[in-house]
Amino acid sequence: MTNQTETNSVHSTPIDPTTGAIVPPLVFTTTFEYEATGQPHGDDEYIYTRNRNPNRLALEKTIATLEHGVLAHAVPSGSSAMMTIFQALRPGDHIVSSDDMYFGIRVQLNEFFAPWGIETTFVDMSDLEAVKGAMRPETKLVIFESPTNPMIRLADIQAIADIAHEHDALVLVDNTVATPIAQNPLKLGADISVISLTKYIAGHHDVLGGVIIFKEQNEFADRVTRLVKIGGAVLSPMMCWLTLRGIQTLSYRVRAHSDNALKVASALADHPKIERVLYPHHPSHPQYDLACRQMRVGSGLMSIQVVGGREEAVGLVQRLKLFTSATSFGGTHSLIEQRESIEENSTTPPNLLRVSIGLENPDDLIADMEQALS
Ligand SMILES: Cc1ncc(COP(=O)(O)O)c(C=O)c1O
C-alpha cells in the first residue's frame, strides 16, 4: 500500500467486508465449513484454526510487511519461536550463538538440544574474528540479539551475515529489543528475524507471543512451516487480535520509549552513585557509532550498574516508587529488576539493574530515580 510503517500499521487489517467494521472481528471458531470434496470455501483456505485463522493470518501478514519478510508464523511465545527453529535442525548440526542473550534460550540449547546432538558454540558477537573462528563445516545457524538482553551489547548484523553466508549458514537475529521500527535485520543480511511479541509489539503487558519471519521461502522456511502446522504451536486468535491492536501504535510508542530512555540515561550517566549506564544511543556506550548506523531509533531497554554490589542494587529497587520491581520489558509501565536473581546460571554482574523505560513522563521517572539514589 505504502512504504510508511505508521500507515501500514494503522491499516494492518482491511475493513471487514461483511459488516464494514473497522476493528477486525475476533474469530474464535476452531473449524470452518468446507466442501464435501475437500476444498475450502472461498480463496482464504480456512479449514481448521491450527492451520490458518483470520486473526493470525492478519497478524502474520502485518509483521511480515513491517519486517520486510515474505512469510511469518505467530507462535505462543518468543521462547517457543526459538524452540521451533531449533527443532527444525537435525542431529549433527552446529549453532554459533551470542554469549549474551535472554538466558532461557541458552537453557534451551544446553539442556534440550545438546543432548539431541545439536552443539552450540557461544561467542562474543562484537568480536568478528571470534565469530569466524567458531564457524564449522556443519554450522547451520548463527543466532544473536542486537541489542542483547541484559548487557545491551550490539552486533554488526551485515558483517556477521557476510561471515555466516561464506560458510552457507543461516543468520537469525532476535529483534525483540530493537523492534522493526528501529532496525530490520532482513534488510541487513539476516535470513530469519524472531521477535517476542510479549514486549514492544503488543506493548501493554497483556500478551504472551512470538513470531518467526523469513526473508525468503526456502527449504528451511518450509520445514519450519511444517513444524508449526503439524506441531501445533500457534498463537491464539485472542492474542493475535490484541497484538494487532498494539501494532497500530507501535511506531509512536517505540519513539516515545526511546526518547524517554535517552533522557533517563543522560540523567543517570554522571550520577555519583551510578557506575555505568548501558544504553546504545547514549554517547558513553562503547558501540554508540554502530547504534547510530544500524538503528533508526533506540528502545526503552537499558541496564544500569550501581556503585556497590547486590545490596545497593536491591536497595535502589526497593526505594523506587514509579518503577515496578518486575521482569519483562516493552510495555507502558516502567519496570526494573536485579537481573542476576532471575537468571539461571547467571554471569550478569550483581550490581546490574535491567530497566525498561515505559511511557510515563520522563521527568517523573528521573525525579523518582533521583529520590531513590539520594
Ligand atoms: C530478547 C528476548 N528474546 C526472547 C525472549 C523470550 O520471549 P517470551 O518471554 O515471549 O517467551 C525474551 C524474554 O524476555 C527476550 O528478552
- Digitized pLDDT (tens) for each residue of the chain, 374 residues in all: 577 889 988 887 889 988 999 999 999 999 999 989 888 887 778 999 999 999 999 999 999 999 999 999 999 999 999 999 999 999 999 999 999 999 999 999 999 999 999 999 999 999 999 999 999 999 999 999 999 999 999 999 999 999 999 999 999 999 999 999 999 999 999 999 999 999 999 999 999 999 999 999 999 999 999 999 999 999 999 999 999 999 999 999 999 999 999 999 999 999 999 999 999 999 999 999 999 999 999 999 999 999 999 999 999 999 999 999 999 999 999 999 999 999 999 999 999 999 999 999 999 999 999 999 99
Of the candidates 121, 117, 171, 185, the one whose C-alpha atom is nearest the C-alpha of residue 143 is 171
CA 140 to chain centre: 21
Delimiting residues of CATH 3.40.640.10 domain(s) in the chain: 5-247
CB atoms within 10 A of CB 232: 10
**Phi, psi dihedral angles at 143 (to 5 degrees):** -125, 140
143 ligand 1 Cβ < 6 A: no
The model's pTM is 0.97
Domain limits, CATH 3.90.1150.10, in the chain:
251-373
Cβ contacts of 19 within 8 Å, gap of 6 or more: 25
Which residue puts its alpha carbon closest to atom 7 of ligand 1? 78
CA proximity to 328, closest of 353, 354, 360: 354
What the block records as the C-alpha cell of 285 is 556506550
Check if 337 has its Cβ closer than 6 Å to any atom of ligand 1.
no
76 lines ligand 1 (CB under 6 A): no
Q: Is the dihedral of CA 132, 144, 100, 313 positive or negative?
A: positive
Report, in this order, helix, strand and coil percent for the chain, each rounded to 5: 40, 15, 45
Beta strands in the chain (DSSP E): 71-75, 94-98, 119-123, 139-145, 170-174, 192-196, 210-214, 274-278, 301-306, 324-325, 335-338, 352-356
Q: Rounded to the nearest 10 degrees, how much is the dihedral formed by the CA atoms of 66, 70, 75, 78?
A: -60
In the reported structure, the alpha carbon of residue 55 is separated from the centroid of ligand 1 by a whole-number distance in angstroms of: 22
Q: Which of 97, 105, 198 to mutate to test the pocket of ligand 1 (most atoms within 8 A of CB)?
A: 198
Mutate to test the pocket of ligand 1, among 102, 201, 235 (most ligand atoms within 8 A of CB): 102
CATH class assigned to 5-247: alpha beta
> What confidence score (pLDDT) does residue 11 get?
87
Distance (Å, whole) CA 72 – CA 52? 12
Does the CB atom of residue 179 touch ligand 1 within 6 A? no
How many whole angstroms from 310 Cα to the centroid of ligand 1? 24
Q: Which of 196, 243, 328, 348 best tests ligand 1's pocket when mutated (most atoms within 8 Å of CB)?
A: 196
C-alpha cell at 183: 532496525
> Residue 108: CB partners within 8 Å, gap ≥ 6?
79, 82, 83, 86
Give me the phi and psi of 356, to 5 degrees please.
-105, 115
Give the residue, by CA position, lying nearest to ligand 1 atom 13: 102
Give, for 64, the enclosing helix (H) or strand (E): helix 54-66
What phi, psi does 148 have (nearest 5°)? -90, 160
Nearest to 172 by CA among 224, 130, 243: 224
Domain 251-373 has CATH 3.90.1150.10: yes
- What lies within 8 Å, CB to CB, of 310 at 6+ separation is 338, 340, 350, 351
State residue 1's pLDDT score.
58
196 CB less than 6 Å from ligand 1?
yes
Measured N-to-C along each axis, helices 310-319 and 362-373 cross at an angle, to the nearest 10 degrees, of: 130
Judged on CB neighbours under 10 Å (0-12, 13-18, 19+), 247 is buried
Instruction: Report the residue among 199, 200, 337 best suited for mutation to probe ligand 1: largest number of ligand atoms under 8 A from its CB.
Output: 199
Cβ of 77 below 6 Å from ligand 1: yes
Ligand 1 in contact with 330 (CB < 6 A)?
Answer: no
Residues 232, 28: Cα–Cα separation, whole Å: 16
Ramachandran region, residue 64 (left: φ > 0; alpha: ψ -120 to 50; beta: rest): alpha
Q: Could you tell me the three cell numbers for 52?
A: 490458518
